[in-house]
Structure 1
Amino acid sequence: MELILDVVIDALIDSLKILPFLFITYLIMEYLEHKTAEFTSGVVEKTEHFGPLWGGLIGAFPQCGFSAAASNLYAGRVITLGTLIAIYLSTSDEMIPLFISEQVPIKTMIQVLAIKALIGILAGFVIDFVVHAYHKAHNKSINDPVRISSLCEKEHCHCDDDESEGLFGIVKSAFVHTFHIFVFVLILTLVLNLVIELIGEDKVALLLKTSPVISHILAGLVGLIPNCAASVIITELYLDQMITLGTMMSGLLVGAGIGLLVLFRVNDNKKENINIALLLFFIGTVIGLLIDLIGITI
């Protein structure tokens, strides 16, 4: 009973952390949908070229809600795939609080954040370049149509009915979206926390201390867990000098907080979602392995 209570409390805390990010994101998206259709198209034009840069920089801030916000923006086609991946790769969530609690030098923290942000930015630009080249080669439209309204239809929030209500309608629609996603995240977080508690963090840690290549793959798989606990385990192992910098980076680069969880909820194209998760895993683990092969240390 005590275990279940702890799991419920932890799940509530983790889920409540993302509420402000979700609500603010939906407010912005609802405003774009209700008031500025032309401006929304302009946003797509701008992020097509500079999105990965801003995504990589903003994603580096120590929070796990921005990746959830990015998933919603991508599902609405307000940002590009490259921008989404840049944000996922640079997201830091619980790493910085742990570094601070362990009195890790500020220089080290900045270096780790800089590496994650740089990798995210470079990967984002490369991905957008490849996507644009592919579309051009196949005579397809480079820009996906902005489809924020499709999110409204999926959530059955009747946003169009609220247009005449002005600001109140925008706030109401944003609240409905936020509530639906919050409930979804809370339920799955409860399940994930329970599984982690039953298996034991020590067993997960043991898996990461096997052979070098396997440790990177396992770290990436742990990073795919849509829960802040993944970054906690990986960061603690690095601080205890049980894994290398590259192995830690494999897990932290792949780890996008609950971003992937939200993506699978709000983006209808499940095949695309799976491909995004696989792309994130591939980039994170390969870069982490390269860091160790080159011998980078901080």
Structure 2
Amino acid sequence: MYDIILDTLKDGIRLLPFLLITYIIMEYMEHKMSAHTRHVVQASGRFGPLIGSIAGIFPQCGFSAAAASFYAGRVISRGTLIAIFLSTSDEMLPVLISQKAPVNMILSILGMKLVIGMIAGFLVDLVFSSGKKAPEPEMDIHHMCEHDHCHCEEGILKSAVVHTAQIFFFIILISFILNLVIALIGEDSLSQIILNRPVIGAVISGIVGLIPNCAASVIITQLYLDGAMSFGSMMAGLLVGAGVGLIVLYRSNDSVRENLRITGILYGIGVAAGIAIDFLGITL
């Protein structure tokens, strides 16, 4: 147990500087880009899924939450909302960067999320097309951020430190649990249990991705980097994961049936894409 705790702390502390630097850069981007991005998405019209999927890959605080609010007011289409949810990176990007993942891996994951989100968004709009209602007053993105406790309004450095502390805690906790499980079961046995069942892995990962918290994307990304999950299973969870977007959707959109339908579409597309990736043998 002592060795497990020591190894976990060593691994986590080595990541701390990279996490902090990453979040400082990301917070700077958020403060400079968020308002402009909102206006572009709102004005995108029939090209909403294209613009939404591109905007979604940038790790902007609360953007999926703002998109849910826009959809509730029919400012954006259902396909645009799905595109944003599927492409949203949440905490995947800082975890990959802090773990020194290869640049081509990071770009490939972001690119796949973008393409899948865009195609799915256009298909959803084609199948479930409906007229837009008059736009309702938009909710400020900094207000939406409060749901994720990201302290966007309190300055770049403080927000970066808070985010770093949150994710550092999750990484330490997840790494400790993984190290403990590996010590008890054995690394080979653990990998075989998950990696030999790609369909089940994608289904389970998609369920984890539905958790409206940054912990979900941290868990999924960490499992993949530790070799305990296939690439397709990871993609399923990361595609389904929309941060706090689903919480805001259920709060701001009155139709529970419609919200459940959107959740089902999001889950189905994410899991289907993950299974297809594993079936095609795509790896990074």
Q: Is 1:122–2:110 an aligned residue pair?
A: no
Q: 1:59 aligns with which of 56, 60, 63?
A: 56
Describe the superposition over 1:51-96 as per-residue Cα deviations: whole angstroms up to 9, x where unpaired.
Answer: 0000000101123511011001111111000000000000001111
Q: Is 1:110–2:110 an aligned residue pair?
A: no
| Percent of aligned positions that are identical | 47
Q: Offset at 1:182?
A: 6.2
Describe the superposition over 1:22-60 as per-residue Cα deviations: whole angstroms up to 9, x where unpaired.
Answer: xx77xx79xxxxxxxxxx8xx4xx52x100000000101
Describe the superposition over 1:2-33 as per-residue Cα deviations: whole angstroms up to 9, x where unpaired.
Answer: xxxxxxxxxxxxxxx9xx88xx77xx79xxxx
- Where in structure 2 are the equivalents of 1:36-75 lying within 5 Å? 43=43, 46-47=44-45, 49-75=46-72
The alignment covers a number of residue pairs equal to 217
Match of 1:155 in 2: none
In structure 2, the CA distance between the partners of 1:183 and 1:59, relative to structure 1 (3 Å rule), is: closer
Q: 1:265 aligns with which of 251, 258, 261?
A: 251
Match of 2:267 in 1: 281
- What are structure 1's unaligned runs of at least 5 residues? 1-16, 30-39, 133-141, 152-173, 187-192
Secondary structure at 2:279's aligned position in 1? helix
Q: 2:133 aligns with which of 123, 142, 145?
A: 145
CA separation in 1, counterparts of 2:106 and 2:223? 16
CA separation in 2, counterparts of 1:272 and 1:219? 23
Higher Cα Rg, which structure = 1
In structure 2, the CA distance between the partners of 1:238 and 1:63, relative to structure 1 (3 Å rule), is: farther
- Where in structure 2 are the equivalents of 1:1-298 lying within 5 Å? 43=43, 46-47=44-45, 49-132=46-129, 142-148=130-136, 201=174, 202=177, 209-210=193-194, 211-298=197-284
Describe the superposition over 1:84-137 as per-residue Cα deviations: whole angstroms up to 9, x where unpaired.
Answer: 0000000001111111111111111101000000000000001111123xxxxx
Describe the superposition over 1:196-237 as per-residue Cα deviations: whole angstroms up to 9, x where unpaired.
Answer: x9xx8548x989954332211110010000001000000001
TM-score, L = length of structure 1: 0.65
In structure 2, the CA distance between the partners of 1:64 and 1:116, relative to structure 1 (3 Å rule), is: farther
In structure 2, the CA distance between the partners of 1:117 and 1:182, relative to structure 1 (3 Å rule), is: closer
- What are structure 2's unaligned runs of at least 5 residues? 1-26, 150-165, 182-189
Indicate conservation of the 8 Å contact 1:62/1:95, yes or no. no
CA separation in 2, counterparts of 1:230 and 1:82? 23
TM-score, L = length of structure 2: 0.68
Secondary structure at 1:148's aligned position in 2? coil
The residue identity in structure 2 corresponding to 1:295 is G
Secondary structure at 1:256's aligned position in 2? coil
